[in-house]
């Protein structure tokens, strides 16, 4: 069953690819944020997530290179999966208002994000735009309610093959209440557990990491700060 959900909910303000790349031919580092907005995120968790997302945008936009090279897209899952923001450079990224609702179709959300990454890479290639290895960054406080469907093993397989083929880098972050065992099934690297609701620290790390990547060459390996260090935002 072929799914192409990345076409729904596209950012209506995004210019067509030809215009984007003609105006800004810089290298691109694509990042899809896959955010859990299910009912269990209601209240303070989603409010802190919203603030963290805004600080992430502000930090990237303040960096001269990152705002032109880092491209951000946003997939949310809560009751349904939505592409809340299609790919745009950081200077044009406008975080949507997050609303908690429904269950946790995590597998569908991850597959949607992987579809988006592959489609965007094809656009880069067709326009001759160099690109860094894309990032897919999942944040959840639960477990997949669609784990019993074909979508879960499909997501697991695609992440394993994609990581082995260096097609993208996948990170999984569990908020309090997350099913860490399921996240271990999904990710080839240890999933990280957020300390409390330190979303702003998480997004500051993500922004700093992507700023470092944007200053490198696409083939370079860029060392990242350890998020599980004494002053980090996560534990394993």
Look at residue 179 and tell me if it is in a domain. yes
Look at residue 194 and tell me if it is in a domain. yes
Mean pLDDT of all residues in 28-36: 97
Q: CA-to-CA distance for 5 and 80, rounded, in angstroms? A: 11
pLDDT one-digit tens code per residue, 177-228: 999 999 999 999 999 999 999 999 999 999 999 999 999 988 788 889 999 9
**Strand-pair partners of 235:** 193
Look at residue 109 and tell me if it is in a domain. yes
Look at residue 221 and tell me if it is in a domain. no
Domains held by the chain: number = 1
Q: CA-to-CA distance for 143 and 217, rounded, in angstroms? A: 37
**Strand-pair partners of 131:** 28
Owning domain of residue 130? 27-33+40-72+102-214
User: Contact at 8 Å (CB) between 103 and 22?
Assistant: no
pLDDT one-digit tens code per residue, 84-116: 999 999 999 999 999 999 999 999 999 999 999
Look at residue 228 and tell me if it is in a domain. no
User: Contact at 8 Å (CB) between 110 and 159?
Assistant: yes
**Strand-pair partners of 140:** 174
CATH number for position 206: 3.40.50.410
């Amino acid at each position: 069953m072929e799914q192409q959900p990345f076409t729904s909910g596209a950012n209506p303000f995004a210019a067509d690819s030809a215009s984007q790349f003609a105006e800004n031919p810089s290298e691109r580092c694509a990042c899809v944020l896959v955010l859990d907005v299910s009912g269990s995120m209601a209240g303070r968790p989603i409010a802190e997530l919203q603030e963290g997302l805004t600080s992430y945008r502000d930090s990237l936009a303040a960096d001269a290179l990152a705002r032109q090279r880092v491209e951000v897209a946003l997939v949310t899952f809560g009751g349904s999966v939505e592409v809340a923001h299609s790919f745009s450079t950081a200077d044009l990224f406008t975080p949507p208002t997050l609303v908690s609702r429904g269950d946790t179709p995590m597998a569908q959300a991850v597959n949607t994000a992987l579809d988006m990454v592959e489609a965007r890479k094809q656009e880069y290639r067709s326009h001759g735009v160099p690109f860094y290895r894309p990032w897919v960054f999942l944040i959840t406080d639960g477990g997949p309610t669609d784990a019993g469907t074909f979508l879960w093993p499909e997501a697991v397989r695609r992440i394993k093959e994609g990581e082995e083929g260096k097609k993208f880098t996948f990170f999984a972050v569990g908020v309090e209440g997350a099913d860490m065992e399921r996240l271990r099934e999904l990710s080839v690297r240890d999933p990280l557990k957020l300390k409390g609701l330190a979303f702003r620290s998480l997004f500051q790390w993500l922004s700093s990491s992507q700023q470092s990547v944007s200053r490198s060459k696409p083939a370079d390996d860029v060392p990242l700060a350890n998020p599980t260090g004494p002053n980090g935002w996560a534990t394993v």
